[in-house]
Amino acid sequence: MSADTNPVPANELNANPPVDGAELIRFEKVTKRFGDNTVLDELDFRVDSGKHVTLIGPSGSGKTTILRLLMTLAKPDAGTITVAGDRLFPAGEKEVREVRKKIGMVFQQFNLFPNMSVLRNVTEAPVTVLGMSKDEAETRARELLDLVGLADKCDERPSRLSGGQQQRVAIARALAMRPQVLLLDEVTSALDPELVAGVLDVLRDIAHTTDITMLCVTHEMNFARDISDQVLMFDSGHVIESGPPEKIFSDPEQDRTREFLSAVL
Ligand code: ADP
């Protein structure tokens, strides 16, 4: 599973390889409320193509909500969201379906299909959503399962795997759609501590050997430091500070960032 043995060439993980410096995700004045609780308040931010961006900040500051808006699991109350130049919000159902194909997400809970084999978990969406042939989807799924170190588990049911292995299947499943951006929502927080490193190693490998754009919410600060081009510190629905990891983790500008980091590091 090192860069040398990576079975999937970097430029094949992503259907539309990034153009340097191009904007992939843009939020403009995005507001999201749950009842009286304004979780995001006219939020502006962008993620450039090919970059790895990590959102850090206290619980309840709105990080997961950003990923859920991108997955259209929730709708903003105002503002615009674009992905690769196409509107995700506001947009019609057909446009949303097209934009959604560009986005893969790995959740805290692995959400695998329990009654399908590991292989079928990875082939299902490429066959049913992208119309890929079963043979092509299986060949690709085997390559991706090899990439995440699970080539020998193709025929198992998810329930026979450890949580860490299930999460690695979920990563392969997200990559099978050849998304332009991979969203990672605290993907190790439901795992037993001894299983965390294996999942983070796979993600580090993907981050370092491919050009896929990543937007990541994590409490794993060492991982964030390793993979990020940019770290955004969130507080109460606002980006209060952003910069390269070496700046944010070693010499933050804001007291709030310093307090947060001293509590979690
Ligand atoms: P974070 O990921 O930074 O911990 P979240 O985005 O999960 O924060 O949550 C931000 C705020 O939105 C919290 O106050 C949370 O309680 C609230 N929230 C999130 N989802 C819902 C929901 N479906 N219904 C009501 N409130 C929600």
Q: Whose CA is nearest to atom 6 of ligand 1?
A: 62
Q: What is the pLDDT of residue 20?
A: 64
The residue whose CA has the least distance to atom 23 of ligand 1 is 34
Could you tell me how many residues make up the chain? Answer: 265
**Mean pLDDT value across residues 82-94:** 93
Main-chain dihedrals φ then ψ at residue 111, nearest 5 degrees:
55, 40
Report d(CA 16, CA 126) in Å as an integer: 16
Say yes or no: CB of residue 59 within 6 Å of ligand 1.
yes
User: How far, in Å, from the CA of 261 to the mean position of ligand 1?
Assistant: 21
Alpha-helical segments (H) within the chain: 63-70, 93-100, 118-128, 134-147, 163-176, 193-209, 221-227, 245-250, 255-264
Cis amide leading into 90 (omega within 30): yes
CB of 34 closer than 6 angstroms to any ligand 1 atom: yes
Residue 254 has pLDDT above 60, yes or no: yes
CB 44 within 8 A of CB 221: no
- Residue 3 binned pLDDT confidence (cut-offs 50, 70, 90): very low
The pLDDT mean for the chain works out to 92
Helix and strand numbers (H, E) in the chain are: 9, 10
pTM for the model: 0.92
Q: How confident is the model at residue 16 (pLDDT cuts 50, 70, 90)?
A: low
In the predicted model, what is the mean pLDDT of residues 18-38? 90
pLDDT greater than 50 at residue 11 = no
Nearest CA to 5 out of 142, 174, 143 is that of: 143
Instruction: Decide whether any atom of ligand 1 lies within 6 Å of the 37 Cβ.
Output: yes
**Residue 62 CA to ligand 1 centre (angstroms):** 6
Ligand 1 proximity of 63 Cβ (cutoff 6 Å): yes
Side chain identity at residue 78, one-letter code: A
What pLDDT is stored for residue 236 in this prediction?
87
